Amino acid sequence: MKINIPESDKKRIVIVGGGFAGLKLALKLAHRQEYQVVLLDKNNYHQFQPLFYQVAMAGLEPSSIVFPLRKAFRKDKEVYIRVTEVKAVHLEKKQLETTVGLCNYDYLVLAFGADTNFFGNERVARLAIPMKSVSEALFLRNRILSDFEKALSTTNYEERQGLMDIVVVGGGPTGVEVSGALAEMKRYVFPKDYPELNTDEIDIYLIQGGDQLLNGMSEESSQKSMEFLSQLGVEVRLNTLVTDFDGEFVHMNDGESIRARKVIWAAGITGNKMEGMPESCLTRGNRIKVNRFSQVEGYDDVFAIGDIAYMEEEAYPHGHPQVAQVAIQQAKTLADNFKNLHRGNTLVPFSYKDLGSMATVGRNRAVVDLPKWKFQGAFAWLVWLLVHLFQILGVKNKVFIFLNWVWNYVTYDQSLRLIIRPRVPKSGEVEVES
């Protein structure tokens, strides 16, 4: 059975994934009317990943950082959205197999991103908490608040420590931002919510396998982020690897163990896999090898962009960093090249322009690396806020996020500390209760 999509005399571009790369490409193509565009995603919304940690820390509602895909294309008659999961690709037939049927394509764009990398440790994968989706961020929020509720009724000190202490694994931007947010909750929020608990007992650990935080940023930013975290009371351990987690203790390669029931895993990503993609197309991290035109190695009609794509250029001999700016710029170049294909013009090779990187460690604490300027502290924090605010889709989302940030800054209080769990009623349909 085929997916119900109207046939057209225009060539069909099928985009798999509605993240930064897939959505930007679809938006660019929608305005040109040269192709029929089909966007496939397992969700009916786009997620703004850089702010997942604020959902997990009760600073933002999940709805503030998602944007309905259909709303973005209300006026575009040649864009078709289907909420489905792609199970396999049949390259010889130019066809995708999805959970709702088969989908033919003339051109295929793979933009289905990456998932958390647990480096083959199945028990850690089962018990640790990743943050690659809004639902996972919401799950983490529930766990943190639920464990503090349990700690109120726990008289045994060691058991209470296990409920309150938190280990964050990975010293990249996500790990640093989560650790800083947790430390601020420990300082400003938990003492008010849980006056019966001694919040000085809460220990927050950040475990980093390398010798510095924020690899890929400048040494100044790395050192300053370390200083900021120390000021907030986060215990940072460099050159340390987590070897196991059994649900009660975190075991490390130096032989030490930390009692903690929550491990937040931000230690790396690996490309999502799609059945039917030849192994010869894949490289380290399950990324798909592409040329400078984003074409998958060996195929002129299959493209890959964003985190899943591995492209080498002179300035990036080991591939581009897996960040949003790369995805967005690749999508823009590919959209231009689809225009060139339609007109029979020469394709333009992609070149990444590094616009800089940044990370926030908490209130008035952030680090920013621009191509010609590096700065840290309160001004960097304001720049971080403005950049992320303008990147959010939707005026309503921008307003809600801005108001939440102002409220949190003035009151030192996150207002969304709700434990919301899915409930499965007798009918079998999932509902939500608070």
Per-residue model confidence (pLDDT) at position 433: 46
Query: Quick one: pLDDT band at residue 415, thresholds 50, 70, 90?
Result: low
Question: Which of 233, 75, 62 has its CA nearest to residue 141?
Answer: 62
Please write the tens of the pLDDT for every residue from 187-235: 999 999 999 999 999 999 999 999 999 998 999 999 999 999 999 999 9
Per-residue model confidence (pLDDT) at position 58: 86
DSSP state of 349: P
Residue 251 has pLDDT above 50, yes or no: yes
Per-residue model confidence (pLDDT) at position 411: 79
Please write the tens of the pLDDT for every residue from 105-121: 999 999 999 999 999 99
Please write the tens of the pLDDT for every residue from 343-385: 999 999 999 999 999 999 999 999 999 998 999 999 999 999 9
Q: What is the DSSP string of 80-123?
A: EEEE--EEEEETTTTEEEETTEEEE-SEEEE---EEE--TT-HH
Please write the tens of the pLDDT for every residue from 167-196: 999 999 999 999 999 999 999 999 999 999
C-alpha 17, offset from chain centre = 13
pTM: 0.92
Residue 431 has pLDDT above 80, yes or no: no
Query: Quick one: pLDDT band at residue 426, thresholds 50, 70, 90?
Result: low
Q: What SS3 state is found at 69? A: helix
Q: Which amino acid is at 30?
A: A
Per-residue model confidence (pLDDT) at position 429: 52
Q: HEC string of 408-433?
A: HHHHCCCCCCCCCEEECCCCCCCEEE
Please write the tens of the pLDDT for every residue from 323-339: 999 999 999 999 999 99
Sign of the torsion formed by the C-alpha atoms of 320, 47, 336 and 98: positive
Higher pLDDT pick, 111 / 394: 111
Domains of the chain are 12-42+84-116+270-343 (3.50.50.60), 122-267 (3.50.50.100)
Please write the tens of the pLDDT for every residue from 31-82: 888 999 999 999 999 999 999 999 999 888 888 999 999 999 998 989 999 9
Q: What is the DSSP string of 142-177?
A: HHHHHHHHHHHT---HHHHHHHH-EEEE--SHHHHH
N residues, the chain:
434
Chain mean pLDDT for the chain: 93
Question: Which of 60, 57, 19 has its CA nearest to residue 40?
Answer: 19
Q: Which residues partner with 168 through β-bridges? A: 206, 264
What is d(CA 49, CA 333) in angstroms, rounded to the nearest whole number? 22
Q: What SS3 state is found at 389? A: helix
To the nearest whole percent, how much of the chain has pLDDT over 70?
96
Query: Quick one: pLDDT band at residue 434, thresholds 50, 70, 90?
Result: very low
